[in-house]
Chain A
Amino acid sequence: GAVVSQHPSWVICKSGTSVKIECRSLDFQATTMFWYRQFPKQSLMLMATSNEGSKATYEQGVEKDKFLINHASLTLSTLTVTSAHPEDSSFYICSASKLAGGAETQYFGPGTRLLVL
């Protein structure tokens, strides 16, 4: 199997607070995890690549000080949205890479819906 979980599934917070989202690979170890953001009726946008034990690599235009990523183990990566504002409201999805048969395949979590009031 290749199951990826996210917690929480949804969160509502006040503007200015920080929110942490966890991404776990439940039945495999993932050296690399990815974080995406998706706005309504749009495609997934890659935010950053997270490698276990090292700093995340952020895509252009994504503020690393606002979206803190920690990949402390081979099965857990966290995304912290710091000082959240209404424009950060979105659907956040993580994925974890699994190597099988020579190919890297990403398996996605169920997503976390963030609403900032």
Chain B
Amino acid sequence: LAKTTQPISMDSYEGQEVNITCSHNNIATNDYITWYQQFPSQGPRFIIQGYKTKVTNEVASLFIPADRKSSTLSLPRVSLSDTAVYYCLVGGYNTDKLIFGTGTRLQVFP
């Protein structure tokens, strides 16, 4: 299972774009990269998933370079409600379990 490394914490202000980078040097060929958001006392919420290049949905973008050894979650124009812990995980098709790292605690200030 690929191990992931993220910054422990990040601060931002409302309206700014936030980019959280995750390193996963030993990602396997069939691994996907998935990001989750977790608020206190809640289960993680799926944000976005990708395999390579760029993926965009209504809440975020995911940038994955060609070597796939890292990925960057981009949150456009964050608001106070985006204050949460963000987890990057890697796992492949039929790779059953996910191992959570420390996550990145994002604090958004007014």
Contacts and interface: CB of A to CB of B under 8 A. Distances in A.
Tell me what chain B mostly uses at the interface: helix, strand, loop, or mixed. loop
A4 B99 CA distance: 19
A43 B101 contact: yes
Given A46-B97, A49-B97, A105 B49 contact: yes
Contacts of A44: 44, 87, 100
Interface residues of B, number: 25
Given A49-B96, A103-B32, A103-B51, A43 B102 contact: yes
Interface residues of A, number: 28
Interface of A: 2, 4, 6, 32, 34, 36, 43-46, 49, 91, 93-95, 97, 99, 102-111, 113
Contacts of A36: 100
B103 A43 contact: yes
Interface in B8-64: 32, 34, 36, 41-46, 49, 51
Nearest to B45: A108
Interface of B: 32, 34, 36, 41-46, 49, 51, 87, 91-103
Contact of B96 (A43, A97, A103): A97
A2 B100 CA distance: 20
Given A34-B97, A44-B100, A45-B100, A104 B44 contact: no
A63 B70 CA distance: 35
A111 B43 contact: yes
Contacts of A106: 34, 46, 98
A6 B32 CA distance: 26
Given A103-B51, A107-B46, A46 B95 contact: no
